[in-house]
Amino acid sequence: MYWLEIITLTKLIRFLSFKVLDALNRGCFCIKVLKKMEIHQKLKFWYQSAGRDLPWRHTSDPYFIWLSEVILQQTRVDQGLPYYYAFTQQYPTVHDLANAHEDEVFRLWQGLGYYSRAKSLLKTAKEVQHRYNGNFPASYQELLALPGIGPYTAAAIASFAFNLPHPVVDGNVKRVVSRCLQIQEPIESKVALNEIQIWLDACMQPSEPAIFNQAIMELGALICLPKSPSCSVCPIQAHCLATQSGRPTDFPIKKSKPAKRILHLSFAWAWKNGKFAIQKRGNEGIWANLWELPSIETPEPSDIQIFEPIFPGLSLSAYRTFELPVHLLSHREIRARVFLFKTESDALHQVEWISPEMRDSYGFPRILTRFFEQNEEAFRAQLNLDFSKPDTEF
């Protein structure tokens, strides 16, 4: 009888312990849920008072939202804003953009860099017009299937245009969440991205996905900066482990980047009868499909004689050389020079001869538009160039 009572009491204790632990777990879960809801609300109230007034935030038109997202990839807002206005004015609907000539789009894109985006812009517009009759699809998966649209852009359109609960994950968002959680893995690793996605899914209230996405991106752009975060005024500082540990700038953790490959590029600024030669780049590589001065890539700096096979009869004594500032791309460092000269013979290469007045009708990479802008005097004086002092600048 005595042992039976002990066994019964032990079972009772185990049962009660299980119930207590279950209640504690449920309580902890509820607290966690409430904290995540608190993050959403804090971000919302902060954004409503501190968010920037930007044109694409006043529309639910998926075309304008998509356009803004493509323009702002790898681009600051102040830099991208004039391009947004230019594109929406020139191409007010996706039909207008889909029917645009490639050269027109590249010319309008000129100066933004990452020209593959302009190519994707056209391709996506044509797909939306032909496949969906000019109406962007209203589901995340269909948006993701469009050419040139990845998970971030699909989530942005889905939430901003159609109010669907898909968190956006861009560089700003990754930085904010990596600091809140003190993620110990490299930010682009699968482990880190999975942690970020879980946190965002838990924090976003499904009824207000657009404002949550706008708010957390804005937080990363204005407060949670890479080098000098303003933690003291951050609305969710109480939820940030990196702030509490005093090490916000230690996160996110990034893998060391490989050294940029150095590319030496020589341009021929060849003049003939008041016109200069240009050529169109190929479909692949940097500045794909843009126009440029005839160019040759070399592993080392080159001299003007490299252009003799293209411009026969080229005088090696009558020319000027311009050394361009180092031009940095994501994985390359371009060191370029321009050789200015006159020629009387036709080029043994497919080029077009255009007058200075026609220059703005073509889309050139930024490295050349900047050079043209800084050397307008050379354009004005090209008919009477004095080459008596070769290899000098104007």
Active site residue 69: yes
User: Catalytic residue among 5, 38, 69, 373, which?
Assistant: 69
Q: What is the 3-state secondary structure (H, E, C) of the chain?
A: CHHHHHHHHHHHHHHHHHHHHHHHHHHHHHHHHHHHHHHHHHHHHHHHHHCCCCHHHHCCCHHHHHHHHHHHCCCCHHHHHHHHHHHHHHCCCHHHHHCCCHHHHHHHHCCCCCCHHHHHHHHHHHHHHHHHCCCCCCCHHHHHCCCCCCHHHHHHHHHHHHCCCCCCCCHHHHHHHHHHHCCCCCCCCHHHHHHHHHHHHHHCCCCCHHHHHHHHHHHHHHCCCCCCCCHHHCCCHHHCHHHHCCCHHHCCCCCCCCCCEEEEEEEEEEEECCEEEEEECCCCCCCCCCEECCEEEECCCCCHHHHCCCCCCCCCCCCEEEECCCEECCCEEEEEEEEEEECCCCCCCCCEEECHHHHHHCCCCHHHHHHHHHCHHHHHHHHHCCCCCCCCCC
- Show which residues are catalytic: 69
